[in-house]
C-alpha cells in the first residue's frame, strides 16, 4: 500500500538542490521558479541554519530549536518552514508556494541522513512531527501532529524494528486521531468514543492498560471513523500526510481562534506561523520512556527550584491533557531514573546560563535518552517574576537594570491585589493546585460566554470549568478567578491565568462540574450560578461564600526591585488624592507628592452639600459669601489633613472645576426639601436649576470661568489653603501648597485670578503674622493654553497637563459619549488604542511637548507634570519622561506602576544613548 518511491538523498541537499530533480512528477510551477527564496531552515547534529535571534522568521519554537541544537543540547533533528512562507500562502489565497514541497523533500533527506532512518521506509522508518510555532507562543493555532510517516506497512516495520508491537500500534492510533482531528477537522470525540468503547469492553481504565491486540482494534476503528467523516481512507502516502499537515498549520493562522487570540493580546504585524518538522523521539516506547514539561524555576513563587511534571510511557500532550495525572519531577523522577533526573538538573543550568531567564521547556526520554523538544521564556506570576529578577541579579546572571526591565510595569497590579484576611472565617470545600496567586471572590459561571455576559451585567464571576481551552479566553479575561477540576500546573488554565494575573486553582479533583445543567458538586453538596465561592490561587484552596479580603503586603523582593527602579528613574511620581486617607495610601506606595487634589469631591458629604447648594442658590454676592463662610472650615480641615499626611511634599490643589448644576438636586422631591430648608419656594429652586442648565456643560460655565464670575469662591478656597498651611507651619509640619487654576486658556484669565489669590494670601499672612511659601500655577487642558504656553508661563509658576480634558478637546471627542464609537474605531484600527487610556502621542502628546518647550522658554525652571488617567499608564509615562516632565501623577494604586515605568524609560534611554 505504501506507494512511496524512495529517493536517494544527495550529499548536499540544502540550497543547491535542484527543485525539478526532487519534484513530484507532474507538479507544475516548480520549473518556473527562477531564483529560489530560502523557505526552509535545517537543524540537527549540532548544526543549525537558524538561531535564537531569528524569531521573526522562524517563530519562537523554531528559532530556539535551532539555538538549542547549537548549544549543543540533544534536539531531534528537523527543519523549520518560515513564517514568511505562511504569509505567501495566505497572500496567494491559501495556496502553498509551488516549490515548497521540493525544499521540504530536500530537507527530509538531510534529516534522514542525520538520523540514519528513511521517511516512508518500512524497514527503518523516519517518523516526524509537524508543529506550529509563531513568533509569540499562541494558543489557538493548530495542535501538533505526531508520528507522521506511519501507514499500514510502516507500522509493521516499526513493530519489527523495535520489537515493540504495542508501541507501534499505539503510535499509529495516535497519528490517525491527531491527523483526523487537527488536519481534517474530524471531531476528537468520535475517536474518543471508540477508544472508550474498547476500554470498556476490555474492562480497563487507562490507555496504558490496553494490549497490543486492543490497540490494533483501536486502529481499525479509527480508520473507519476517518473514512466515515472524511469520505476517504486515511492517507497512506507519508508525503501526502506531511503536506496536508503543513498546509493545516498555515491555515490555522487565519482560524477564528487564532485571530481572536491575536486581537485580545494586541499581537499585530506578524506574517504568520512557522511550521517545524522534526524527527520523532518516543516517550511511549515502554516504562523506560517518558515525556514531560518543566520550568527551570517555580513560576508561581519564583523559588529557584526545578519545577516539572512527567508521565512514563506517554506521548505528546498526554501531560497537559489531564488524561492521567502527571508525576512531579522533583519528587518522583529520581526514583524512576536517577540518570534522567541528573540530566534534567544539568539542563536547567545550561538553559538559564544561555537564555538568562526562566525557561519553560518540553522534553522526552526515549529508552533512557533525554531529548529537548522546546524551550521558551517561562510565563510567570508577577510575584514570581519579581523574585526571579532580583535573585538572578544577585546570582550575577543579569544586572540590576535588566532586572528592572524584566518586570512589566502594568503587571504590578497583580501584586497590589488583595489577599484573604487570615483571620476571616473560611470553610474549605475543595483543594486543587495553587496555579496562579491572588484572592478571588465571585459567583459561579460555567461557560466563558456566560461569564462574559454576566460580568458585562455587573456581576463578579468565578469561571468554573473541567479544563479551559483557548476558546475560553474571553471569559477567563473577565473572571475574578478560575477554578478547574482537571489538569496540572502546566494546564491551559494555569498557564493562561498566570499570564493574565488572574487567581487560579487548577485540578481540584473533588469538584464535579456539569456545565450543561449548571451544577457544581463538591462532596455531595451542590452549587449553582447564584452561589458565591472564594478561591486562593496562592494555596489552592476553594471556600464557600464570600471570604473577606485585605490589601497585600510587600515582599522583600518587591521592595528591592522598587528600590532599584527608584535608583534609575529621574521622573518623579505623585498621586491624585482628595482625602488624607488616599494621600497616606499613596505615600505608602511611594508617592512623592500630590499632583491633583480635586476640591469638588470635598463638597459631596451630606452635611457639606447643603451649604454648597445654599451658596449656589444665593441670590446675591453677600448671601453667597455667607454660605461660603460655612464651607471654609471643612475645606481648611481637609487641606490640613492632606498636608500633614504628605509631610512637606508638594501638594497641588485644584480650585473648583465642575459646572455648578452638578451639585444641585434634579428630582422634585429633593428640590422641595432643599427649598424648605433654605426658606425658598420650590419655584425659586426650580428656576435656579433651570438657569444653570447648559447645552454643553463640559464646555460651559466651569473651571476658572466659575472663579472669574464668582471670585468669592476662589477667595474662600485660597483662604482655606493658606490658613491650613499656616496652621501646619505653627505645628512644625513642613508644607508646600501649589494652587492650581483649572481650564485656563488665556494669560489674562490667569492674571486676573492671580491678583485675587495674592491679595487673599497676603490678607491671611497679615492676620496670622506669618508667611508660607506657595506656588500659583495652571492646568493645561485646552489647546489654546498649550499653544500660548509661553505667555501663560509669565504668570503661572507651574503647569500640570490635565490630559483627560486635553484629549477630549484636542480630538473633539466627548469623554462621556466616546464609549459609543471608540470601540469601533479600535476594532477597525482607525485608532490604535483608546486615547483616554493611553496618551495620543502623535496629537495630544505634540501639544504637551510644545507647551513644555514654550513654557520653559519663558520660565526655565517651570515645573511641569501630568495628572489624569494617563499618569498611571506605562506607555504614557515613558512619553512624559521623554518630553522632560518633572513628574507624573496617578491614582494611589498605580503609583508603583508609574515608578517602574519611569525607571524603564530612563534605562531604555540610557541604552539608546550608549549606541
Binding site for Mg ion (CB under 5 A): 143, 362, 374
Q: How far apart are CA 854 and CA 864, in angstroms?
A: 12
Residue 175 beta carbon to ligand ADP: minimum distance, rounded to whole angstroms: 12
Provide φ and ψ at 128, rounded to 5°: -130, 160
Q: Which of residues 47-106 bind ligand ADP (CB under 6 A)?
A: 76
Q: What grid cell was written down for 677?
A: 430648608
Residue 131 beta carbon to ligand ADP: minimum distance, rounded to whole angstroms: 3
Nearer Cβ to ligand ADP (176/522): 176
Residue 291 beta carbon to ligand ADP: minimum distance, rounded to whole angstroms: 5
Q: Which of residues 341-380 bind ligand ADP (CB under 6 A)?
A: 362, 364, 373-374
Residue 714 contact, options Mg ion, ligand ADP, none, Cβ 5-8 Å cut-off depending on partner type: none
Q: Which of 487, 56, 429 is nearest to 293 (CA)?
A: 487
Q: Which residue pairs, CB below 8 angstroms and at least 24 apart, start in 115-118?
A: 115/44, 115/76, 115/77, 115/279, 117/279, 118/6
Q: How far apart are CA 892 and CA 882, in angstroms?
A: 23
Q: Is 278 in the site for ligand ADP (CB under 6 A)?
A: yes
Residues sharing a CB contact under 8 Å with residue 281, sequence separation 6 or more, in sequence order: 76, 364, 366, 369, 371, 373
Is 492 assigned a catalytic role? yes
**Catalytic option among 190, 417, 492, 611:** 492
From 69, 115, 144, 889, residue interacting with ligand ADP (rule: CB under 6 A):
144
Q: Is 317 in the site for ligand ADP (CB under 6 A)?
A: yes
Cα angle value 433/436/441 (rounded, 5°):
95
Nearer Cβ to Mg ion (374/886): 374
Q: What grid cell was written down for 53?
A: 535571534
Integer angstrom CA distances of residue 8 from 4, 113, 162, 778, 786: 12, 10, 24, 81, 74
Residue with nearest beta carbon to ligand ADP: 131
Q: Is 146 in the site for ligand ADP (CB under 6 A)?
A: yes
Q: How far apart are CA 898 and CA 574, in angstroms?
A: 9
Residue 468 contact, options Mg ion, ligand ADP, none, Cβ 5-8 Å cut-off depending on partner type: none
Nearer Cβ to ligand ADP (23/146): 146
Please name the helix (run of DSSP H) or strand (run of DSSP E) that holds residue 850, with its range, or none.
helix 844-858
Residue 360 beta carbon to ligand ADP: minimum distance, rounded to whole angstroms: 10
Specify the stretch interacting with ligand ADP by CB under 6 A; choose among 276-284, 426-434, 698-706, 765-773.
276-284
Nearer Cβ to ligand ADP (133/580): 133
Residue 785 contact, options ligand ADP, Mg ion, none, Cβ 5-8 Å cut-off depending on partner type: none
From 105, 110, 117, 131, residue interacting with ligand ADP (rule: CB under 6 A):
131
Residue 469 contact, options ligand ADP, Mg ion, none, Cβ 5-8 Å cut-off depending on partner type: none
Nearer Cβ to ligand ADP (55/881): 55
Nearer Cβ to ligand ADP (470/658): 470
CA 860 vs. chain centroid, Å, equals: 40
Integer angstrom CA distances of residue 150 from 112, 158, 212: 15, 9, 17
Nearer Cβ to ligand ADP (252/502): 252
| Number of Cβ atoms within 10 Å of the Cβ of 282 | 25
Nearer Cβ to ligand ADP (311/461): 311
Residues sharing a CB contact under 8 Å with residue 757, sequence separation 6 or more, in sequence order: 714, 718, 739, 776
Q: Is 491 in the site for ligand ADP (CB under 6 A)?
A: no
Cell match 525544499: residue? 103
Specify the stretch interacting with ligand ADP by CB under 6 A; choose among 275-283, 427-435, 826-834, 843-851.
275-283
Q: How far apart are CA 909 and CA 903, in angstroms?
A: 10
From 280, 405, 463, 594, residue interacting with ligand ADP (rule: CB under 6 A):
280
**440 within 8 A of 433, measured Cβ to Cβ:** no
Residues facing residue 865 across a β-bridge: 800, 887
Q: Which of residues 675-694 bind ligand ADP (CB under 6 A)?
A: none
Residue 261 beta carbon to ligand ADP: minimum distance, rounded to whole angstroms: 13
**782 within 8 A of 737, measured Cβ to Cβ:** no
Residue 422 beta carbon to ligand ADP: minimum distance, rounded to whole angstroms: 38
Residue 149 beta carbon to ligand ADP: minimum distance, rounded to whole angstroms: 12
**750 within 8 A of 741, measured Cβ to Cβ:** yes
Specify the stretch interacting with ligand ADP by CB under 6 A; choose among 96-104, 179-187, 278-286, 840-848.
278-286
Specify the stretch interacting with ligand ADP by CB under 6 A; choose among 216-224, 273-281, 824-832, 869-877.
273-281
Q: What grid cell was written down for 229?
A: 467523516
From 291, 301, 502, 889, residue interacting with ligand ADP (rule: CB under 6 A):
291
Residue 316 contact, options Mg ion, ligand ADP, none, Cβ 5-8 Å cut-off depending on partner type: ligand ADP
Strands 481-484 and 504-506 come out as parallel
From 316, 745, 871, 874, residue interacting with ligand ADP (rule: CB under 6 A):
316
**547 within 8 A of 462, measured Cβ to Cβ:** no
DSSP secondary structure string, 595-620? EEEEGGGGG-SHHHHHHHHHHHH-SS
From 58, 66, 99, 129, residue interacting with ligand ADP (rule: CB under 6 A):
129
516: exposed, middle or buried (C-beta count within 10 Å: 0-12, 13-18, 19+)? Answer: exposed
**Catalytic option among 86, 504, 728, 867:** 867
Residues with catalytic function: 492, 867
- Binding-site ranges for ligand ADP (CB under 6 A): 76, 129, 131, 144, 146, 278, 280-281, 291, 316-317, 362, 364, 373-374
Amino acid at each position: 500500500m505504501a506507494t512511496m518511491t524512495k529517493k536517494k538523498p544527495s550529499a548536499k541537499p540544502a540550497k543547491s538542490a535542484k527543485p525539478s530533480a526532487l519534484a513530484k512528477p507532474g507538479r507544475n510551477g516548480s520549473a518556473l521558479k527562477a531564483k529560489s527564496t530560502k523557505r526552509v531552515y535545517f537543524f540537527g547534529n549540532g548544526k543549525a541554519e537558524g538561531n535564537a535571534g531569528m524569531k521573526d522568521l522562524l517563530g519562537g519554537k523554531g528559532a530556539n530549536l535551532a539555538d538549542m541544537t547549537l548549544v549543543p543540547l540533544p534536539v531531534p533533528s528537523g527543519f523549520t518552514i518560515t513564517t514568511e512562507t505562511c504569509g505567501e500562502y495566505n497572500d496567494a489565497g491559501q495556496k502553498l508556494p509551488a516549490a515548497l514541497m521540493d525544499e521540504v523533500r530536500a530537507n527530509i533527506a538531510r534529516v534522514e541522513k542525520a538520523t540514519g532512518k528513511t521517511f516512508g521506509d518500512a524497514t527503518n522508518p523516519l517518523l516526524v512531527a509537524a508543529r506550529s510555532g509563531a513568533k509569540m507562543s499562541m494558543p489557538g493555532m493548530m495542535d501538533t501532529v505526531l508520528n507522521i510517516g506511519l501507514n499500514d506497512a510502516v507500522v509493521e516495520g516499526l513493530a519489527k524494528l523495535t520489537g515493540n508491537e504495542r508501541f507501534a500500534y499505539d503510535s499509529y492510533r495516535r497519528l490517525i486521531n491527531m491527523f483526523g482531528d487537527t488536519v481534517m477537522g474530524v471531531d476528537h470525540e468520535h475517536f474518543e468514543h471508540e477508544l472508550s468503547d474498547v476500554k470498556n469492553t476490555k474492562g480497563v481504565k487507562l490507555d496504558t492498560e490496553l494490549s497490543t491486540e486492543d490497540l490494533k482494534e483501536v486502529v481499525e476503528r479509527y480508520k473507519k471513523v476517518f473514512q466515515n467523516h472524511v469520505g476517504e481512507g486515511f492517507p497512506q502516502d507519508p508525503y501526502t500526510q506531511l503536506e496536508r499537515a503543513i498546509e493545516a498549520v498555515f491555515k490555522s493562522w487565519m482560524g477564528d481562534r487564532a485571530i481572536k487570540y491575536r486581537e485580545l493580546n494586541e499581537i499585530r504585524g506578524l506574517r504568520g506561523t512557522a511550521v517545524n518538522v522534526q524527527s520523532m523521539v518516543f516517550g511511549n516506547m515502554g516504562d523506560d520512556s517518558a515525556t514531560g514539561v518543566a520550568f527551570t524555576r517555580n513560576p508561581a513563587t519564583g523559588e529557584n527550584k526545578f519545577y516539572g511534571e512527567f508521565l512514563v510511557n506517554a506521548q505528546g500532550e498526554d501531560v497537559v491533557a489531564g488524561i492521567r495525572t502527571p508525576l512531579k519531577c522533583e519528587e518522583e523522577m529520581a526514583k524512576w531514573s536517577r540518570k534522567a533526573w541528573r540530566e534534567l538538573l544539568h539542563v536547567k543550568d545550561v538553559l538559564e546560563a544561555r537564555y538568562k531567564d526562566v525557561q519553560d521547556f518540553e522534553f522526552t526520554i526515549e529508552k533512557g535518552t533525554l531529548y529537548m523538544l522546546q524551550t521558551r521564556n517561562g510565563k510567570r506570576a508577577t510575584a514570581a517574576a519579581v523574585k526571579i529578577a532580583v535573585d538572578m541579579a544577585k546570582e550575577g546572571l543579569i544586572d540590576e537594570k535588566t532586572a528592572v526591565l524584566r518586570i512589566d510595569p502594568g503587571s504590578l497590579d497583580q501584586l497590589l491585589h488583595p489577599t484573604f484576611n487570615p483571620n476571616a472565617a473560611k470553610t474549605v470545600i475543595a483543594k486543587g493546585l495553587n496555579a496562579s496567586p491572588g484572592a478571588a471572590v465571585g459567583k459561579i459561571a460555567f461557560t466563558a460566554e456566560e461569564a462574559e455576559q454576566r460580568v458585562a451585567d455587573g456581576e463578579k464571576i468565578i469561571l468554573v470549568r473541567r479544563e479551559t481551552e483557548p476558546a475560553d479566553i474571553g471569559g477567563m479575561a473577565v473572571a475574578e478567578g478560575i477554578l478547574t477540576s482537571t489538569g496540572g500546573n502546566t494546564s491551559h488554565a494555569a498557564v493562561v491565568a498566570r499570564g493574565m494575573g488572574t487567581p487560579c486553582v487548577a485540578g481540584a479533583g473533588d469538584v464535579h462540574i456539569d456545565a450543561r445543567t449548571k451544577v457544581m458538586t463538591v462532596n455531595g453538596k451542590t452549587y449553582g450560578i447564584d452561589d458565591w465561592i472564594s478561591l486562593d490561587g496562592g494555596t489552592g484552596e476553594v471556600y464557600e461564600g464570600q471570604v473577606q479580603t485585605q490589601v497585600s503586603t510587600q515582599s522583600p523582593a518587591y521592595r528591592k526591585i522598587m528600590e532599584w527602579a527608584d535608583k534609575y528613574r529621574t521622573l518623579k511620581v505623585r498621586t491624585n488624592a482628595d482625602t488624607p486617607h488616599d494621600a497616606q495610601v499613596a505615600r505608602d506606595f511611594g508617592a512623592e507628592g500630590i499632583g491633583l487634589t480635586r476640591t469638588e469631591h470635598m463638597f459631596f458629604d451630606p452635611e457639606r452639600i447643603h451649604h454648597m447648594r445654599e451658596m449656589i442658590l444665593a441670590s446675591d454676592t453677600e448671601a453667597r459669601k455667607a454660605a461660603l463662610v460655612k464651607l471654609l472650615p471643612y475645606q481648611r480641615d481637609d487641606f490640613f489633613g492632606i498636608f500633614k499626611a504628605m509631610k512637606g511634599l508638594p501638594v497641588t490643589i485644584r480650585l473648583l472645576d465642575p459646572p455648578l448644576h452638578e451639585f444641585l438636586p434634579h428630582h422634585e422631591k429633593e428640590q422641595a426639601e432643599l427649598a424648605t430648608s433654605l426658606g425658598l419656594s420650590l419655584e425659586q429652586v426650580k428656576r435656579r436649576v433651570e438657569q444653570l442648565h447648559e447645552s454643553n456643560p463640559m464646555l460651559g460655565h466651569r473651571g476658572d470661568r466659575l472663579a472669574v464670575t464668582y471670585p468669592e469662591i476662589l477667595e474662600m478656597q485660597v483662604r482655606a489653603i493658606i490658613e491650613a498651611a499656616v496652621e501646619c507651619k505653627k505645628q512644625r509640619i513642613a508644607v508646600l501648597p501649589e494652587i492650581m487654576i483649572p481650564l485656563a486658556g488665556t494669560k489674562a484669565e490667569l492674571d486676573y485670578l492671580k491678583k485675587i489669590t495674592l491679595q487673599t494670601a497676603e490678607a491671611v499672612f497679615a492676620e496670622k503674622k506669618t508667611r508660607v511659601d506657595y506656588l500659583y500655577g495652571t492646568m493645561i487642558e485646552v489647546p489654546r493654553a498649550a499653544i500660548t504656553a509661553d505667555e501663560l508661563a509669565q504668570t503661572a509658576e507651574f503647569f500640570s497637563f490635565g490630559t483627560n480634558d486635553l484629549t477630549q478637546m484636542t480630538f473633539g471627542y466627548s469623554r462621556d459619549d466616546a464609549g459609543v464609537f471608540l470601540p469601533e474605531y479600535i476594532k477597525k484600527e482607525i485608532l490604535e488604542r483608546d486615547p483616554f487610556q493611553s496618551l495620543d502621542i502623535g496629537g495630544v502628546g505634540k501639544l504637551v511637548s510644545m507647551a513644555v518647550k514654550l513654557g520653559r522658554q519663558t520660565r526655565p525652571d517651570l515645573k511641569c507634570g501630568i495628572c489624569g488617567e494617563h499618569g498611571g499608564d506605562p506607555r504614557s509615562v515613558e512619553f512624559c519622561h521623554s518630553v522632560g516632565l518633572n513628574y507624573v501623577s496617578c491614582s494611589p494604586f498605580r503609583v508603583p506602576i508609574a515608578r517602574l515605568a519611569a525607571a524603564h524609560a530612563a534605562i531604555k534611554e540610557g541604552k539608546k544613548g550608549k549606541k
